[in-house]
Structure 1
């Protein structure tokens, strides 16, 4: 439910969302940010500034949590031609459709590993967001294929800074450098040398270009209920596999069960958290089988517990191919 707030900045539209139960804005929408220097998602004090495009046009959206964890609201303020449509989708973006009641039931909670129960206890306001933004999320996930997080974040920042348009003016309130992710046409216009400068190999850039060619069809998937039809639509793009599909639907549809098979770190992390020993993808699937239907929630609560697996040897260092 949204209600108009008392004060609306000049040139903006605004609304408030009242969560049903505990809510944590930063913990919920943080997964939509591609690193601390994401030009399309900037955190400035209590405000989360997000720039993106809607069917009605671009929007600059500011989100702020007011009140306490248990008794508060989220104030959303929007500028640009897409403001009204963005405000309509704010509850879904914030996880209003994400129902944890079955997960939080006493009977189900009793089956969870201790770390998952701890993570949920420490983070009762955690929700899974559903942005509905398909191309933006797909492009980011493709950039993250088979490289370190550091490399993917740098590529995203470089490409958005160079090819994304400035976010709609927010009357001087928005942080400097806020930019919109590229449109499908803008992705297609990126020359090969700039993909190279961004550290993106030909395989990943080609996959993004293929997604951009069918962007209108992919965007329609954003309004559909998450399910096999959405996954099949994503897999129809050559170069998009099960890992990328899972990474996308976790963010676009708030899928409570999708786990990223093929992730460089996840299987080892889940194995260490649940058994004290690292495992592979097959082992991870087997370990999480008792909670099928809620496996992404289990993973999120494991991370929320603060558990970190032991590291061995030097970290994988990113390679710089830009001058080769």
Structure 2
């Protein structure tokens, strides 16, 4: 396995957390296109130049970036952004100091950065699949789609390349049904795929959000899930999430239940880094008390 281009060496800040940072590229937990450990990370995607695989390997205070496939040059050029090294934390210390818990979490997870992949549709696919269903349902559908459109990653054939937007746009609904994707999400996915080229032209996180929410079936939750990974937006909050308002309210105010309005009220002192604060709360495993039965896991493939 030989990289197409020479490796790129990136200087690392003190306490840099490779695994914690690169996990931010996974919109859905255990995303098969992302593989991370303390020393090494792999990410497979579709770049404007074609499929590519990025390998980041930590060697002391240096991060060695290697890339494979048609998108290798594009990935190497953006390797520092993908590794979260363009993430600006200069104002976060003052912001974090506004709450004792956030201040402590900012110290514990000080090595985590916000990665910025530079691509939208590879994150939009799992985000749409995650709309209003359980994690298990979304993950099962995502894995099935990756298998169906199956293309091995350059340089690492046991990882999959995300499907091309053109292929998704041209696929009729009945193909998605056995994957457990009902018509609403399938139609949203195909519409988004048809507009993928325009989405990829977004010049900023705000522009990407505007373009995303202009599409039927895509709201603030989906847009925030995407731009946190595509643009490294530290302020993107997943409004409409089933669990997040409760997590935030419990962590910041000791309140076991909250709605989006209350969540945003509690996050307001951290404006500019609201998404980062949410990520820290989730990373710390802070969850609100649980009441009532768990959501039922369904499969639309059986309907």
Question: TM bucket by the smaller chain?
Answer: over 0.9
Q: Report the equivalent of 2:114.
A: 128
3-state SS of the aligned residue for 1:322? Answer: helix
Q: 1:256 to 1:195 in 2, by over 3 A?
A: same
Question: 2:247·2:281 contact (CA, 8 Å) conserved in 1?
Answer: no
Q: Does 1:115 align with 2:101?
A: yes
Q: State the SS of the aligned residue for 1:178.
A: strand
CA distance in 2, matches of 1:117, 1:305: 13
SS at match of 1:74: strand
Residues 43 and 99 of structure 1, relative CA distance in 2, 3 Å threshold:
closer
**Equivalent-residue separation in structure 1 for 2:223 and 2:189 (angstroms):** 14
Q: Is it true that 1:95 corresponds to 2:88 in the alignment?
A: no
Q: Report the Cα distance in structure 2 between the residues aligned to 1:314 and 1:48, rounded to whole angstroms.
A: 37
Tell me how far 1:12 sits from its aligned partner. Answer: 5.2
Aligned residues of 1:115 and 1:302 also touching (Cα < 8 A) = no
TM, length-normalised to structure 2:
0.92
Q: CA deviation at 1:138?
A: 1.2
1:259 maps onto 2:248 in alignment: no
CA deviation map 1:275-312 (0-9, x unaligned): 22121111111111122222112212223334232222
Q: How far off is 1:118 after superposition?
A: 1.7
Moved more, 303-312 or 246-255: 303-312
Per-residue CA shift, 1:139-186, capped at 9, x if unaligned? 111111001111111111110111142212x2xxx3x53111110121
Find the counterpart in structure 2 of residue 211 from structure 1.
192
CA distance in 1, matches of 2:277, 2:302: 42
- Normalised TM-score (structure 1): 0.87
1:1-49 CA deviation, whole Å, 9 max, x = no partner?
xxxxxxx94655421211344311111110222332x332234784322
Distance 1:268 1:297 in 2: 17
SS of equivalent to 1:190:
coil
Q: Which residue number in structure 1 is paired with residue 270 of structure 2? A: 291
Q: Where does residue 196 of structure 1 map in the other structure?
A: 177
1:171-250 alignment, distance < 5 Å: 174=156, 177-221=158-202, 224-227=203-206, 229-250=207-228
Q: Which runs of 5+ in 2 are unaligned?
A: none
Distance in 2, Cα, partners of 1:97 & 1:201: 38
Which is worse superposed, 313-322 or 261-270? 313-322
Q: CA 1:184–1:110 in structure 2 vs 1: closer, same or farther (change >3 Å)?
A: closer
* Aligned-partner Cα distance in 2 for 1:122–1:35: 22
Q: Which residue of 1 aligns with 2:44?
A: 51
Q: 3-state SS of the aligned residue for 2:302?
A: coil
Post-superposition offset of 1:130:
0.7
Change (3 A) 1:61 1:10: closer
d(CA) in 2 for partners of 1:18 and 1:146? 41
Once residues 20 and 46 of structure 2 are traced to their aligned partners in structure 1, the CA distance between those partners, rounded to angstroms, is 23
- Aligned to 1:177, the other structure's residue is in SS state strand
> C-alpha separation between the residues in 2 aligned to 1:209 and 1:289?
35
Structure 1 CA distance for aligned equivalents of residues 252 and 90 of structure 2: 23
Kindly indicate whether the alpha-carbon contact (under 8 Å) linking 1:40 and 1:50 is maintained by their aligned counterparts in 2. yes
4+ residue segments displaced more than 6 Å: none
Q: Which of residues 23, 27, 37 is equivalent to 1:30? A: 23
Q: Which runs of 5+ in 1 are unaligned?
A: 1-7
Displacement of 1:205: 0.8
* Contact map agreement 1:39 1:161 (CA 8 A) in 2: no
- Give the direction of change, closer, same or farther, for the CA distance of 1:154–1:45 in structure 2 (3 Å limit): farther
RMSD: 1.9
